[in-house]
Amino acid sequence: MARIFSERVLGADLVARYGGEEFLFCFVGSDATAGEQRCEDLRLALEREDWTMLSSGLRVTMSVGLATSNGEFEASALLDRADTCLYQAKRLGRNQVVTGSTLRFGTR
């Protein structure tokens, strides 16, 4: 996963482990459309990777909750929005990108 992430994260961007199985990506200067595309590229790269060398039949997928900001939100509010989207992606069947544009905030 580290190799796949590092190949697709640009110089000014940030990737960090954020909890047990969660990762945080900050795509600096990306708008919502570009951020969604970059998350989808990461998701597909993980899904398409041959993981069987680690364990027979192993399949890795990625659920993504995407929140964007032009500086109008505090970091904690932005993380909360991303978390809400992530749990919506999981409820919808996993292995997909859910953005703020596909989710009404404030409802879970």
- Which residues, at least 6 apart from 51, have a Cβ–Cβ distance to it below 8 Å? 58, 59, 60
Task: Report pLDDT for 64.
Answer: 95
Task: Report pLDDT for 71.
Answer: 74
Q: What are the structural domains of the chain? A: 2-102 (3.30.70.270)
- Compare 102 and 35 and report the one with higher pLDDT: 35
Total-model pTM: 0.86
Q: 24 — alpha (psi -120 to 50), left (phi > 0) or beta?
A: beta
- Average pLDDT across the chain, whole number: 88
Task: Report pLDDT for 56.
Answer: 96
Task: Report pLDDT for 75.
Answer: 84
